[in-house]
Amino acid sequence: MAQPGFFELFGFGPEGWGAALLTGAMMTIVIALSGFAIGACIGVLGAWVKISGGVVGRAIAGAYTTVLRGIPDLLVIYLFYFGGSAAISAIGRLFGNDGFIGFPGLLAGALAVGITSGAQQTEVFRGAFRAVHPGELEAAIACGMPRFLRFRRIIAPLTLRHALPGMGNVWQVVLKESALVSVTGVVELLRQSQIGAGSSGLPFDFYVVAAALYLAISTVSGLALNAAERRTRIGTRRNP
């Protein structure tokens, strides 16, 4: 039986894998966005603790960033998936269910990616806050701004301006980490490519298309982040 042509194989016809690959790409984006958002929330909290927390809080935040940046991301995903499955199975046994109950793979992957990226974003936000000139904060205090107004008008915008380049780098890492979530059974872009490669016997073709899709997602998101960075720098003096 003759092999289908490239456009037929990756088209949207009855023998095409186009729809399946696009669905996998959408799942990749969902995992990456979820993990990045979770990591951003953790990063803001971790940076605040490292800057303004007490001795115990700073020690906990420091241990978190040190440990999570030193453990392989795949291991963190395994810990979340199998640890969550063990906990749910134990709860199930309390209610008479003796079988294995798997932790949702998508949730485990998003949480694991979020926890690992949170360690990186903690340092990004901490460094961004340190980059804010103290005189700007002192001027806001001298003007009598309440704490929340000072945070909303001065601290948050200026910190975000300095943090965006680092957040862009973290996003690229998170996007690539999303491919590891396939070990939990989630059919994202790389896993769908593996399925197609095994079914068609054309692994090179599928992995090249997967690489092109990853590059497209990375390029579009990079352009969006660059546009956001330029917007936050409107009205600022540029270095020659």
- Rounded to whole angstroms, what are the CA distances from 177 to 28, 75, 186, 209? 10, 12, 13, 18
How many Cβ atoms sit within 10 Å of the Cβ of residue 44? 19
Report DSSP letters for 1-63, one per residue: -PPPPHHHHTSSSTT--HHHHHHHHHHHHHHHHHHHHHHHHHHHHHHHHHHH--HHHHHHHHH
Q: Where are the domains of the chain?
A: 22-186
pTM, full prediction = 0.89
**Is CATH 3.40.1190.20 what the domain over 22-186 is classified as, yes or no?**
no
Neighbours of 89 (CB within 10 A): 16
pLDDT in tens, the chain (240 residues): 466 777 788 888 777 888 999 999 999 999 999 999 999 999 999 999 999 888 999 999 999 999 998 899 999 999 999 998 888 888 888 887 777 788 898 999 999 999 999 999 999 999 999 988 888 888 888 888 888 888 888 888 889 989 999 999 999 999 999 999 999 889 999 999 999 999 888 899 999 999 999 999 999 999 999 898 888 877 665 544
233's enclosing H/E stretch is none
